[in-house]
A and B are shown apart, each in its own frame.
Chain A
Amino acid sequence: MGIISRGFGGRRRESVPGLPPGQYLTYDFPVLSAGPTPRIPLDRWRFTLTTETGAQKSWNWQEFTSLKTEDISTDIHCVTKWSKLGTSWRGVSLDTLFEDVETAADYTMVHSFGGYTTNVPLEDLLDGKAWIAFKFDGEDLDPEHGGPARMLIPHLYFWKSAKWVNGLQMMHDDEPGFWEAAGYHMYGDPWREQRYQGD
């Protein structure tokens, strides 16, 4: 681990009990970035769900925000070891988006403006476990934090909660997304500390 640096505290944080292993509590909002922040005008925004047969279901911003919304209060865990408790969001449940969708595939690839991708098993998106969020703390979601809309899958490390989402593709086999192809864990459960491949 290296020597302790005399008098070094580091950014304000706490190691509170009850956090996933190796995580620290932060009061900031850590931003993980893999590229420039895309600015997406709402009239160009669209979210498309594509099944393994190629069937598509798609919403523009107006259609999307008129779906049933939910308020979510949840803890989030970033692979960079920061956790934030009790964050509040508003979004559309994936259960709502998947109503009437016929699929036999078990895996999904989440796609974003800017080219980011991340893979998530379908069962981790359903039954009240995942949302597409467009408000944070009562405000429109800032582009830095994934606005207009981002995935929110709080039970997995936060890189799975893709910013700037624009689509979801069903897949029969699990395939790695952007970070997973570069060494991050395929599943990413913070409670089992699945940060990297092989963890």
Chain B
Amino acid sequence: MNVLDGNALAGDLAEIFAVDVTAARFVCAGCGHADAVATLQLFGHAPASVGRCPECTDVVIRLVRADDRVFLDMRGTVRLELPMSGS
């Protein structure tokens, strides 16, 4: 099976967000593990991907790409921390 990582979500996420979410830190709702979204284990191909916690394999992100919509389910992360350029 073709397992990728969160880096491969960058394109789909960049169509939704103005900042790069793969560099953001998630906190896993299951086990509390925190790391970059890029480190998630990524299963599945377009149209649907599942990002799992590399520590406990709980689902952190689900992304479903329809022709004219994107669904992003992030209930598996209790927080996202995004780097912003400082002021």
Asked if chains A and B come from one complex, the reply is yes
Residues of A within 8 A of B (CB): 31-37, 79-80, 115, 144, 178-179, 181-184, 195-199
Q: When the two chains form their complex, are residues A34 and B66 in contact, meaning their CB atoms are under 8 A apart?
A: no
Q: When the two chains form their complex, are residues B1 and A183 in contact, meaning their CB atoms are under 8 A apart?
A: no
In the complex, A35→B49 CA distance in Å? Answer: 10
Between A and B, 13 residue pairs with Cβ closer than 8 Å are A33-B44, A35-B43, A35-B50, A35-B52, A35-B59, A79-B47, A80-B46, A181-B73, A182-B62, A183-B62, A183-B66, A197-B71, A199-B66
With A182-B62, A183-B64 given, name 10 new contacts (CB 8 A).
Answer: A34-B44, A35-B43, A35-B50, A115-B59, A178-B59, A182-B64, A182-B73, A183-B69, A196-B64, A197-B71
Q: When the two chains form their complex, are residues A184 and B57 in contact, meaning their CB atoms are under 8 A apart?
A: no
Interchain nearest-CB distance for B48 vs A (Å): 7
Interchain nearest-CB distance for B70 vs A (Å): 8
Q: Which residues of chain B in 23-61 are interfacial with respect to chain A, using CB atoms and an 8 Å cutoff?
A: 43-48, 50, 52, 57, 59
| Residues of B contacting A199 in the complex (Cβ-Cβ under 8 angstroms) | 66
Q: When the two chains form their complex, are residues B52 and A182 in contact, meaning their CB atoms are under 8 A apart?
A: no
| Residues of B contacting A182 in the complex (Cβ-Cβ under 8 angstroms) | 48, 62-64, 71, 73
| Residues of B contacting A181 in the complex (Cβ-Cβ under 8 angstroms) | 62, 73
| Residues of A contacting B62 in the complex (Cβ-Cβ under 8 angstroms) | 178-179, 181-183
In the complex, A33→B63 CA distance in Å? Answer: 13
| Residues of B contacting A144 in the complex (Cβ-Cβ under 8 angstroms) | 1
In the complex, A182→B52 CA distance in Å? Answer: 14
In the complex, A34→B3 CA distance in Å? Answer: 10
Interchain nearest-CB distance for B28 vs A (Å): 14
Q: Which residues of chain B in 69-87 are interfacial with respect to chain A, using CB atoms and an 8 Å cutoff?
A: 69, 71, 73
| Residues of B contacting A35 in the complex (Cβ-Cβ under 8 angstroms) | 43, 50, 52, 57, 59
Q: When the two chains form their complex, are residues B71 and A33 in contact, meaning their CB atoms are under 8 A apart?
A: no
Q: Which of A183, A196, A198 contacts B73 (CB 8 A)?
A: A183
Q: When the two chains form their complex, are residues B1 and A37 in contact, meaning their CB atoms are under 8 A apart?
A: yes
Q: Which of A80, A197, A198 contacts B45 (CB 8 A)?
A: A80
| Residues of A contacting B64 in the complex (Cβ-Cβ under 8 angstroms) | 179, 182-184, 196
Beyond A33-B43, A35-B43, A184-B64, whether A179 also contacts B48 by CB under 8 A is yes
In the complex, A182→B46 CA distance in Å? Answer: 14
Q: When the two chains form their complex, are residues B71 and A183 in contact, meaning their CB atoms are under 8 A apart?
A: yes
| Residues of A contacting B66 in the complex (Cβ-Cβ under 8 angstroms) | 183, 195-196, 199
In the complex, A197→B66 CA distance in Å? Answer: 9
Q: Which of A37, A184, A197 contacts B48 (CB 8 A)?
A: A184
- CB-based nearest A residue for B63: A182
Q: When the two chains form their complex, are residues A80 and B47 in contact, meaning their CB atoms are under 8 A apart?
A: yes
